[in-house]
Chains A and B, each alone.
Chain A
Amino acid sequence: MAVTPHHETSRGRSSQPFWTMARRDSLAGFLFIAPQLIGIVIFVLIPLALVFWYSLHEWNVLANTFTYTGAQNYRMVIEDTNLREVLGATAIFSVGLVVLNMSLALLLAVLLNQKLAGIAVFRTLFFSPVVVSLVAWTIVWGFLLQKNGGINGMLQVFGIEGPNWLREETTAMISVIVVQVFKNVGLNMILFLAALQGVPNELYEAARIDGAPAFKQFRRITLPLISPTILLTSIITIVGSLQVFAQIAILTQGGPGLSTTVLVYYLYQQAFQFHFFGYGSTLSILLFVIVAVLTFAQWQLRKRIVFYES
């Protein structure tokens, strides 16, 4: 990071006309952004071009074959019946996660917004899973969700026979969603709490004078005013949910069947377990398109909301 613009400063001082303030600024600007810009070119743009190039090839590393096949991998994307299941599982996972995450985050934020003694302690505890190592968190939940694990043990105390959570299709999906929600809901909770505290108090006072019950105040005042926050965080949460990998790899390995094989996990399997780098690259492009569309929607939304607010 040798970016000290030393010599141009000294030259500038000796009143050489070439190094004007503007020129020195330009050089400084380029030097300041150089590490990041070069990094993006090497570690993002070139790989993105390569992944597209690879996606046009059939490439088996074990057999050491790399043949240009044009759009064949893309036809495979359409014909791959496993992929349909994978995209279905991805959609269920992302939608389930975002719905559960948003509702729970909102509930917790409303609770934490009450005037109660010791509320800060609750806030800390609800937030704590965010800083617990992801894999450690997932391992404990995997342990709790075993057939003879802690959760079924508790249920049995009350005479309930619990399912084998991670080995049955429906409960496996619910489990991976729930584990992820409890891990990260604290972040959205804090964002919602900040939004709730930004709602002007006079509005509630006016509503109380009019005799509006608490629930109606929430629906008519709170929700509309914090809806921009809800919308933005839900898109960020969906994009995050598309990148979930460790939880799946540790809890279910995508199973039973393909029921919890989300797109990133499928991509990993195709490329790094079955060594189909070409098809894996095509799946990467698919993931890229989905994430790009969602992120772009978020930017547009943010622009519009900022405009609306001002």
Chain B
Amino acid sequence: MKADLSPRMKVALYGLMCVLLIPFVFPTWWMVTSSIKPISDIFAFPPHLVPQSYDWTTYSKVFELQPFVRQYWNSAYIAAMVTTGTMIVSSMAGYAFARIKFPFANTAFMIVLLGLLIPSEVTIVPLFQMFLKAGMVNTHWPLILVPIFGAPSVFATFVMRQFFVTLPPELEEAARVDGLGRFKIFRKIALPLARPALASVAIFTFLHSWNLFLEPIVFLSSAEKFTLPQALTQYTDAYGGPMWNIQLAAATLTALPVLIVFIIAQKQFVEGLAHTGLKG
């Protein structure tokens, strides 16, 4: 496997990989290019792989038909709060489960791990009822509180615990002899060392929140409260059919920023997501 390949073999492998790349790369290309084609061109035959003419008014329609700036802000601030909140809750819980001896620690850990067994789809009906009683339906609270404190953060806690377990105890012993409290040890010694694990948690928590779809459509009902995934599907004509070019323009605006950050910080993304084995 590791032997040097013959030139002919190399050409064959490059060829194979380029063909395999098509379904991975072409949709993104098609999304961006179709979003700037005039409506008459988007179903043109033969398909124009490169736009022949441009129509930028699609992008202004994205903002005219829905409060898209507001929806963008909703998604962004919810994702930011969920990511920050999860990092705090999970690193603290993960640290305690890994490093602090306290009564019932194992029982508590087992209870927390139950969150991994129960996907949020299972509890969506009672959660809806609970938030309805609390007057929080059609607010962003369910999309913020449940991911930070509920089942979605358990995986993050697990990742943090696995990391803190590997820290050598000597690191803390010295600080404890100096009389440093637990919280200070956590903040000043353990947390700075946990940057790689925290980065993983941040990346997959952000993506999870950014992609959330079932929860927004269950909890939110007015356009100015919508998050992006939900808003994208709302660009429909009078018959409920999608306005493709506008949907694709809005989809481009949703997808590109994350894609650009990924290209800049791809190493962290790939390692962060793969090492935790996250599945969506």
Contact = CB atoms under 8 A, between A and B. Distances in A.
Contacts of B3: 208
B183 A5 contact: yes
A114 B280 contact: no
Contacts of A170: none
Nearest to B146: A43
Range class of the A interface residue count: 35 or more
A40 B114 contact: yes
Range class of the B interface residue count: 35 or more
Given A29-B102, A267-B121, A128 B151 contact: no
Given A6-B181, A240-B279, A29 B270 contact: no
Contacts of A236: 277, 279
Contact of A37 (B5, B47, B112, B278): B112
Judged by DSSP, the binding face of B is helix
Nearest to A245: B214
Nearest to A182: B23
A131 B213 contact: no
A33 B160 CA distance: 13
Given A40-B150, A116-B10, A133-B228, A45 B114 contact: yes
B1 A131 contact: no
Contacts of A287: 119, 121-122
A130 interface: yes
Contact of A135 (B27, B122, B229, B244): B229
Nearest to B273: A187
Interface in B49-94: 88-90, 92-93
29 contacts: A25-B102, A33-B93, A33-B97, A36-B89, A36-B112, A37-B112, A40-B114, A48-B122, A51-B126, A124-B266, A125-B25, A129-B28, A131-B259, A132-B28, A133-B211, A135-B228, A136-B252, A139-B233, A141-B27, A144-B30, A190-B274, A208-B3, A237-B279, A246-B211, A267-B121, A267-B124, A271-B124, A284-B122, A291-B118
Interface of B: 1-5, 10, 13-14, 16-17, 20-21, 23-25, 27-28, 30-31, 34, 43-47, 88-90, 92-93, 95-97, 100-103, 105, 108, 111-112, 114-119, 121-130, 145-146, 148-151, 153-154, 157, 179, 181-183, 186, 207, 210-211, 213-214, 217-218, 228-230, 232-233, 242, 244, 247-248, 251-252, 254-255, 258-259, 262-263, 266, 269-270, 273-274, 277-280
User: 5 tightest CB-CB pairs across the interface, nearest first?
Assistant: A39-B149, A29-B102, A43-B150, A32-B96, A136-B251
